[in-house]
Amino acid sequence: MASTTSTILWDLETCFPSDIAASDAVAAIRKLVAPRSTIQQMLAFWNSNHTKQTVRNSGQARTGSFSNTQEYRNALHRQGVVPVDSAFLDGEAVVKAMMGRFFNGRKKITLPNIEESSVEMFKGIIDGRFNLQRTIIVISNNTSLEYSANLLKERHFKVSFFDSWTSVLSAGGSSQSDNVSPSGSPVVGSTASQRLPDPTHELDQANHSTNAIAGGAPPPPPYTVRPPADVKPEIIQHFHVLIEVFQSLADRGETRISRADLGNEIIKASSPNVYKEAGFKDFKKYVQAAEQFGLIIVGGGGSESWAELRSEGSPGIVEPPN
């Protein structure tokens, strides 16, 4: 029987497991998710502008053998976790990155515009299949994210929220049948939020949607990426990881990717140090340079920002031969 898929959004700034090694931390999350879902991607958010990390658990300072260092994040990456440096965003950078929404640096977040954008908050991060509602698991002590998770649940998303690393460990080792509301649905922000939702309904929807799609139009054919002819070879080589990401898109018949997803895919294709290895401070500078050199074109705004590889003024692809 197929299972639902989950996206893990993990805030290293407020829920860092200082007592255990990276491999054990990832194993704990997998143990938590395994009975109900398959992990599609696990993203761990941090901010490199914070030179002195404060590890918190339910608002309390913690001490332990491990800290949020590059070495620890590299260990997470080896376990299949994608560390996401949110330093290119202003203000509450980690929160914004986890929401998948880019705010103007001069625009302050207020409750009205948080509520207005809540339906879109995780769009830039979650890479879902057509008509399949994904389970979202948020690990963070930030109340803004808890608020957003509750609103997403009201819109029939399957969201579990853990506000401390201790709650992750407790839920992973406890019974799935306890602390569930009379309707059988966990309540975000309560003890019941430590139980993942039953995927049966989602599976029925997924199977129905898959069958409907099977009789429809075939997916787009794959393409071969062709970098712009007017960009110097040394520049193309400098951004080879970026081009590899667009080739992966082309293999699926796609040409456009959201700005938030682009940053994650670049790290997945290389390492968390990919931007510095290319000579740039962060993702923002990296993308700006790629655009200035004429390698990509960008458009949209906010959570709708996107990027395409260009070739002589058009997306950098070659139609497959007939």
Residue owning tokens 């819109």: 155
Full residue range of the structural domain in which residue 78 is found:
4-207
Residue pLDDT, tens place only, 94-128: 565 655 532 333 334 443 444 334 334 444 444 33
Q: What one-character-per-residue DSSP string does 198-246 give? A: P-HHHHHHHHHHHHHHHTSPPPPPP-EE---TTS-HHHHHHTHHHHHHH
Question: pLDDT band for position 35 (50/70/90)?
Answer: confident
Is 301 part of a structural domain of the chain? yes
Pairing assessment for the beta strands 135-139 and 4-11 based on DSSP bridges: parallel
What integer best gives the mean pLDDT of the chain? Answer: 66
Asked if residue 263 belongs to a domain, the reply is: yes
Is the confidence at residue 314, as pLDDT, over 50?
no
CB 135 within 8 A of CB 6: yes
Please indicate, yes or no, whether residues 19 and 149 belong to a single structural domain of this protein: yes
State residue 147's pLDDT score. 72
What tens digit of pLDDT does each residue of 247-292 get? 888 887 788 888 878 888 888 888 878 888 888 888 888 988 988 8
| 64 and 21 within one domain | yes
**Digit-coded pLDDT (tens) for 280-298:** 888 888 988 988 888 888 8
In a domain, 79, yes or no: yes
Q: Does the pLDDT at position 26 exceed 90? A: yes
Determine what percent of the chain is predicted with pLDDT higher than 90. Answer: 4
Q: How confident is the model at residue 25 (pLDDT cuts 50, 70, 90)?
A: very high
In a domain, 214, yes or no: no
Give yes or no for a contact between 254 and 220, defined as CB atoms under 8 angstroms apart: yes
Q: What is the pLDDT of residue 148?
A: 72
Residue predicted with more confidence, 241 or 184: 241
Distance separating alpha carbons of residues 32 and 255, to the nearest angstrom: 36
- 274, 241 Cβ separation under 8 angstroms: yes
Domains held by the chain: number: 2
**Eight-state DSSP code of residue 163:** S
d(CA 96, CA 183): 32
Let me know if residue 58 belongs to a domain: yes
The answer to whether position 203 is within a domain reads yes
Least confident of 18-27, 142-151, 217-226: 217-226
Q: In this structure, are residues 149 and 125 in contact, taking their beta carbons and an 8 Å threshold?
A: no
Residues 51, 161, single domain; the answer is yes
Does residue 295 sit in the same domain as residue 237? yes
- Quote the pLDDT of residue 65: 55
According to the model, what pLDDT value does residue 301 have? 67
Q: What is d(CA 80, CA 74) in angstroms, rounded to the nearest whole number? A: 10
Task: Give the end of a domain, one of 207, 233, 262.
Answer: 207
Residue 183 sits in the same domain as residue 286: no
Please tell me the predicted confidence (pLDDT) of residue 27. Answer: 92
Q: Is the pLDDT of residue 47 over 50?
A: yes
At 98, which helix (H) or strand (E)?
Answer: helix 93-99
Enumerate residues 6+ apart whose C-beta is below 8 A from 267: 82, 83, 84, 274
CA-to-CA distance for 300 and 306, rounded, in angstroms?
6
Q: Are 86 and 93 in contact (CB under 8 A)?
A: yes
Last residue of a domain, which of 175, 207, 239?
207
Let me know if residue 213 belongs to a domain.
no
Which carries the bigger pLDDT value, residue 258 or residue 63? 258
Q: Check residue 316 and report its DSSP letter.
A: S
Q: Which residues pair with 228 in a beta bridge?
A: none
* Domain-terminating residue out of 174, 207, 240: 207
